[in-house]
Structure 1
Amino acid sequence: MTAAVCHDLDHPGYNNVYQINARTELAVRYNDISPLENHHCAVAFHIFSQPDCNIFSHFDPETVKQIHQGTIALILATDMARHGEILDLFKQKMENFDFTNEEHVSCLKMVLIKCCDISNEVRPMEVAEPWVDCLLEEYFKQSDREKAERLPVAPFMDREKVTKPTAQIGFIKFVLIPMFETVMKLFPQIEEVMVQPLRESRDRYEELKQIDDAMNEVQKKKSENLIMGGKKKKTGQLI
């Protein structure tokens, strides 16, 4: 719970890729290794170091050490650059998962905080969609800055190349559903409350994409007709 509350503390709104490419203070400080996640940890522990905020003051030193280590491991696990690595490790544990095995449970915790971190599309559309709009605006703000600073721009963050449906379809199909379906093997009860809403969200965005594609096709034909009409006028042909 502590890691979940603290996992994005003092987030500047520009992701690790930007931090590293722009050679920001955070990237330099943390040697390009999960700069944001390391910063979130540092801010959390700075808060806990203040007497009136130290929620662990009554724990013994060894327990506090374990809490700190666990919090660091979980917050660092939210770096999406490690997504494939962590999910593959969890899949290996899933072949013979053992709740009495500390290593297995630690891996499960990392996957669960990842699920929490990117679970927006699990929620009802009326709750999830405004947050998608906010996220896309954050992406566009970053890509605009990257263009201005002549830094590499990720296609999924470029306002000229991505739409809400295209952004969400890929993320839901290739990141969210595979991860939640893997967790579902351990906790079958999440299918109805988590996995099914993800599938419905995927279907809804695919329908929206089809509508967008159809509208774009109509617009394209209109533009082509206007061009052809203009050419015929120039050659004196009747239209």
Structure 2
Amino acid sequence: MECRGESRLVYFTVERSDHCEAALFRTDTPADEVKELFRAAAEAGPGDVLKLYTADGRLVNISPSIPSNTPDTCYNLQVVAAHCNGMLLDEVGIDLLALEQRVARLEKQIRMEFEELPPVVQDLKHQVDSFRKKLETTEHLSWLGFYKELPPPLSTEACRRLQYRRKSEEEKRRVRDKFFSICDVAVSEEVRHYLRQPTFDCHQWEDEEILLLLQQMYVDLDLTTKFGIELPTLRSFLYEVYKNYNEVPFHNFRHCFCVAQMMYSMVWCVKLPSKIGDLETLILLTSCICHDLDHPGYNNIYQRQQKKSIKRSPQLTVVETEARAFGPVTFVMSLKFLVAFQEFFKQSDAEKLEGLPVTPFMDREKITKPSSQCSFIGFVLLPLFEALGELFTELQDLIVQPVRDALDHYRRLNEAAKDERLHR
């Protein structure tokens, strides 16, 4: 007999409204249908981004498993990013979607009626190609052509070893289509303000929405205008970055966003462009986004040891990846995702299976989270944060003190764990 889900009754208000509405659905309802239910309630368009918040401002995932509540504890439904076409139509009388459709129809008609493009269109195409070439060969803008230079996927045995870490083609297409369908939406002022805080939580944001937020960082810092970055070029670049992060437990696309977002919050806090310049700010933000591209989930120690092992055991294959250095920018962001063990333990397990030396701080039989965090925060993270705090005193309360508090917290946990072991 077919099992059916339970009924779920959820009360919520739509932003800027005090009227409490109710949504009734079953817990086995497809997630997309639940999202469309809330989309209809907010009178939002298909490309708008919705978020659901509790009364105290916590983000709730819009899914069939939304916790039930009462009219006294209404959630708040907000359109945090809305398509700008309606605003253009209202304010300046331009229907952007209609204009785009007209251009597409005109291009199709020209190609149907002429074997060759008319001279005026050929001239326009030549100008565009010349501008693109100039853009991608100008020294301080040449990074924009980076997405065209990414190495092709491996076709050797190493590729077979990596396949389980690669995103599927279907998943990449899905995210690409969704991102390009929402990339013109206007992000709300509340989210733009929250994005500048070190406490920003990306847990409930989808990958395509995270791409939108990365785009917003460039726009809000005015980097697109100052460096003549075309939005379509920026979007293609950001998508290629997303596509080339692997599905590994920690060094994945969300980690790249956390790194970039923490740097972004510091940029705003200390007014960094006025201190180091716009070009250096552009380089910093882009470096954060790209810093772990194609990370395989294993560190350099493992890869070097495995490479040596191949000389002894030809039947083993090695995943060849470029050596990566952990720079200060990476450590500045690491507190956001101290998740410091699934990836570590996976590596130490592989080292044991392949007869390689086991990396001590990754051995699940010897390490605990509190002891590991005490070492990492005390010897690596805190000294870097304190150095930053001396240089930019505005960061003392923003990031330095929270790191000290975190170290105290893990020290207490570590001492408690030691006491527990002694009394066993």
Specify the alignment match of 2:394 in structure 1. 189
User: Which structure 2 segments of 5+ residues have no match?
Assistant: 1-284, 308-317
Specify the alignment match of 2:290 in structure 1. 6
- The question of 1:19 aligning with 2:303 is answered yes
- Name the % identity: 42
SS of the aligned residue for 1:14 comes to: coil
Question: Residue 26 of structure 1 aligns to which amino acid in structure 2?
Answer: E
Instruction: After TM superposition, give the deviation of residue 206 of structure 1 in Å.
Output: 0.6
Return the alpha-carbon distance in structure 1 between the equivalents of residues 401 and 372 of structure 2.
19
Specify the alignment match of 1:120 in structure 2. 334
Alignment of 1:175-186 (within 5 A): 175-186=380-391
Specify the alignment match of 2:361 in structure 1. 156
SS of the aligned residue for 2:320 comes to: helix
Alignment of 1:23-172 (within 5 A): 23=307, 24-26=318-320, 35-37=322-324, 79-80=325-326, 111=328, 113-116=329-332, 119-121=333-335, 128=336, 131-132=337-338, 134-172=339-377
Return the alpha-carbon distance in structure 1 between the equivalents of residues 334 and 298 of structure 2.
19
Instruction: After TM superposition, give the deviation of residue 218 of structure 1 in Å.
Output: 1.3
Question: Residue 288 of structure 2 aligns to which amino acid in structure 1?
Answer: A
Question: Residue 21 of structure 1 aligns to which amino acid in structure 2?
Answer: Q
SS of the aligned residue for 2:416 comes to: helix
Question: Residue 205 of structure 1 aligns to which amino acid in structure 2?
Answer: Y
**Quick check: 2:340–2:373 contact (8 Å CA) kept in 1?**
no
* Alpha carbons of structure 1 residues 135 and 169: separation in structure 2 relative to 1, 3 Å: closer
Superposition TM-score, scaled by structure 2 size = 0.29
Return the alpha-carbon distance in structure 2 between the equivalents of residues 174 and 18 of structure 1.
22
Kindly indicate whether structure 1 or structure 2 has the higher relative contact order, using CA contacts under 8 Å at least 6 residues apart.
Answer: 1
Return the alpha-carbon distance in structure 1 between the equivalents of residues 296 and 319 of structure 2.
12
* Alpha carbons of structure 1 residues 215 and 186: separation in structure 2 relative to 1, 3 Å: same
* Alpha carbons of structure 1 residues 156 and 181: separation in structure 2 relative to 1, 3 Å: same
Question: Residue 352 of structure 2 aligns to which amino acid in structure 1?
Answer: K
Return the alpha-carbon distance in structure 1 between the equivalents of residues 341 and 373 of structure 2.
10
Return the alpha-carbon distance in structure 1 between the equivalents of residues 391 and 376 of structure 2.
22
**Quick check: 1:146–1:153 contact (8 Å CA) kept in 2?**
yes
Q: Deviations over 1:194-221 (max 9, x none)?
A: 11011000000011011111111111xx
Return the alpha-carbon distance in structure 2 between the equivalents of residues 135 and 166 of structure 1.
11
**Quick check: 1:11–1:36 contact (8 Å CA) kept in 2?**
no
Instruction: After TM superposition, give the deviation of residue 3 of structure 1 in Å.
Output: 1.4
Question: Residue 330 of structure 2 aligns to which amino acid in structure 1?
Answer: K
**Quick check: 1:26–1:36 contact (8 Å CA) kept in 2?**
no
RMSD over equivalenced CA pairs, Å: 1.7
Question: Residue 12 of structure 1 aligns to which amino acid in structure 2?
Answer: P
**Quick check: 1:169–1:206 contact (8 Å CA) kept in 2?**
yes
Return the alpha-carbon distance in structure 1 between the equivalents of residues 319 and 411 of structure 2.
40
Instruction: After TM superposition, give the deviation of residue 25 of structure 1 in Å.
Output: 4.3
More strand by share: 2
Return the alpha-carbon distance in structure 2 between the equivalents of residues 184 and 10 of structure 1.
32
SS of the aligned residue for 1:26 comes to: coil
Instruction: After TM superposition, give the deviation of residue 137 of structure 1 in Å.
Output: 1.2
More helix by share: 1
Return the alpha-carbon distance in structure 1 between the equivalents of residues 334 and 384 of structure 2.
14
Q: Deviations over 1:9-44 (max 9, x none)?
A: 1211111111111113425xxxxxxx243xxxxxxx
Question: Residue 305 of structure 2 aligns to which amino acid in structure 1?
Answer: N
Superposition TM-score, scaled by structure 1 size = 0.51
Return the alpha-carbon distance in structure 1 between the equivalents of residues 352 and 331 of structure 2.
31
* Alpha carbons of structure 1 residues 115 and 189: separation in structure 2 relative to 1, 3 Å: farther
